Amino acid sequence: MKIALVTDSTSVLTEQEVKENNVIVVPIPIIIGKKEYLEGVNITSEKLFETQRQGAAFPKTSQPSMGDMISLFNKLHKEGYEAIIVITLSSGISGFYQTLQNIAHDNPEYGLYPYDSQITVHLQGDLVLAAAKMIKNGLKPEKIIKKLDKIRATIDELFVVDDLNNLNRGGRLSNAGAFIGTMLHIKPLLTFKDGKIVAFDKIRSLKRAVLKIENLALEKINKLPYRNKLKLFVLDSNDAQQAEGIKEFIIKNFPGRPVEVTKFSPVIATHLGEKSIAIAWMIDINDIDLTK
């Protein structure tokens, strides 16, 4: 069965990963003032923050147009693909997944399988790479989706934002009301719950907030029956020094486990703001059987 694999640019896959796994990456638009940029094409997180320091309008994100997606799916359908799996960033922070659901409903001939990663960045990317392995191994779409569900269930993350302004203005913090009025004085601890960003605690300094998520991560991971099969991630938003410190913490406490340090994509950085930092984990896709 010929299966196409598509994802969006927030999965932050490298050029090599995209090429080796035959992945089609759809860029997410970022609008600053009257100018539209495309993530992964002509904007980086560094450029995004520089525009803000220079007084540019507050950035907004959009989603790929329905017309562009239908054109892509028409092309793939004509090329003989019998199924198209599209792995998206969390439906809790973007309407892209729902758009694909609508397209799938109206165009059954595509054999379209929208899949909500319920996360973003390279945790979403590893779900894409897992799907690519299963496609190469000849698994059918339904089996791939079931396997992805099991992998997705192992994902967890804890993160801190230095300033709530971006999350609040962008409407991406589901329980923002609990923090309004104090957002300049606290560092909220956040996670994804049912695909939405939620704050669960607040700390008075960034240093103490990072220490808190380190200790929480240690506590949560040590309770997992598959803790010795995890891959860990450190994600930062223009704060490499802070990320390096967390990496050292992970190496010390989880020796032998792979750890990947990467940046939030520009789209996610738009919502989280500069100096955001995260610890995340999921089962290492190299430690599970993706052949059947």
Q: Which domains does the chain have, with CATH numbers?
A: 3-28+63-152 (3.40.50.10440), 156-287 (3.30.1180.10)
Looking at residue 55, what is its pLDDT?
A: 82
Dihedral sign, Cα of residue 107, residue 110, residue 111, residue 112: negative
Q: Are 157 and 122 within 8 A, CB to CB? A: no
This prediction's pTM: 0.93
Rounded CA-CA distance 41/39 in Å is: 5
Cβ-Cβ contacts under 8 Å for 12 (sequence gap 6 or more): 121, 122, 125, 262, 263, 265
- Side-by-side strand order, sheet with 277-283: 196-203, 187-193, 156-160, 277-283, 230-236, 259-263
pLDDT tens digits for range 122-180? 999 999 999 999 999 999 999 999 999 999 999 999 999 887 766 666 555 555 544 54
SS3 159: strand
Whether pLDDT at 16 is above 50: yes
Looking at residue 120, what is its pLDDT?
A: 94
Looking at residue 184, what is its pLDDT?
A: 58
Q: Which of 53-67, 99-113, 252-266 shows the lowest per-residue confidence on average (mean pLDDT)?
A: 53-67
Q: Are 265 and 39 within 8 A, CB to CB? A: yes
Q: Are 206 and 184 within 8 A, CB to CB? A: no
